[in-house]
Amino acid sequence: MPHLLSLIREDVATVMEHDPAAKSRLEVYLCYSGLHAVWFYRVNHWLWNHRLFLLGRWLSQAARLLTGIEIHPGAKVGRRLFIDHGMGVVIGETAIVGDDVTLYQGVTLGGTGKEHGKRHPTLEDNVVVGGGAKILGNITVGRNSRIGAGSVVLRNVPEHSTVVGVPGHIIFREGKRVVITDPKQINDPLSEALAAVATEVNRLRDRVQRLEGSEGKGDPLSATLQQIMEDVDYQI
Ligand SMILES: CC(C)(COP(=O)(O)OP(=O)(O)OC[C@H]1O[C@@H](n2cnc3c(N)ncnc32)[C@H](O)[C@@H]1OP(=O)(O)O)[C@@H](O)C(=O)NCCC(=O)NCCS
């Protein structure tokens, strides 16, 4: 671990540069448990790579006790990882984290429970993951992408994208808004239910129009149904 001290200095400098809440270097050294967890990880990863698996694992649990952050010593973590607030962050054994990544509290880089081997995500450089987000499985989040707070991401995310929701879907790509027109793109059981409701409303509107023997122009009931259809279309 010849570089440990220089990595620590680099981490502190990065926090001073990017976190407006950081008032002094001493404060960052003493109060940023996200950094403490990363420093523990650097030692534990070295132990892991030197086949001291149990010691590395045991120390990672000690680090979790002290910081509330669990980084498996087998994970591969790049430089200047910033875990802000930190409590509840979990980084799995086969996760790969690039340089200059930011994770907020409650983030999980976990497995789906269905895969073997490489079963945790890869985050490329400059990714930001919002509080409570879950990124699951052997997927890749491309560089400079952002994952919204509370999202659950189960599919690859391209570079320069913003993803929100459960399950996560892209709302911005390369700075442009992405509009979802097909509910299947979200792959959310709820949007299937909404699509079914929209179909049913359509069917009922046709029926009401037939019963009334009109096209419904100027008819308040049809106007209301039309409004419902438009709202539902917008939501899905
Ligand atoms: C995802 C995020 C990066 C997007 O920020 P942004 O690019 O400024 O996007 P906007 O705020 O303009 O939101 C764009 C749309 O996404 C929605 N959205 C934003 N964040 C969302 C989230 N986490 N979950 C669901 N929807 C979200 C907004 O409601 C908006 O929808 P609309 O256009 O239909 O009204 C940001 O909202 C976020 O979640 N950041 C994480 C911050 C965090 O975890 N902080 C912890 C501090 S302790």
**Per-residue pLDDT tens for 45-102?**
999 999 999 999 999 999 999 999 999 999 999 999 999 999 999 999 999 999 999 9
Q: What pLDDT shows up at residue 232?
A: 60
Please report where in the chains the tokens 């019963």 appear, as a residue: 211
Ligand 1 shell residues, CB under 6 Å: 85, 104, 130-131, 146, 148-150, 162, 164-165, 171
Q: Where are the domains of the chain?
A: 4-179, 184-235
Instruction: Tell how strand 161-164 and strand 169-173 pair up.
Output: antiparallel
User: Domain spanning 4-179: which superfamily?
Assistant: Hexapeptide repeat proteins (2.160.10.10)
Q: What is the pLDDT of residues 5-21, one digit of tens each?
A: 999 999 999 999 989 99
Pocket test for ligand 1, best of 171, 178, 180 (most atoms within 8 A of CB): 171
Q: How far is the CA of 129 from the centre of ligand 1 (A)?
A: 11
CA-to-CA distance for 173 and 225, rounded, in angstroms?
A: 34
pTM, to two decimals: 0.83
C-alpha angle with apex 227: 224 to 228, nearest 5 degrees?
90
Half-sphere exposure of 41 (CA within 13 A, CB side): 30
Pocket test for ligand 1, best of 162, 164, 170 (most atoms within 8 A of CB): 164
Cβ proximity of 7 and 79 under 8 Å: yes
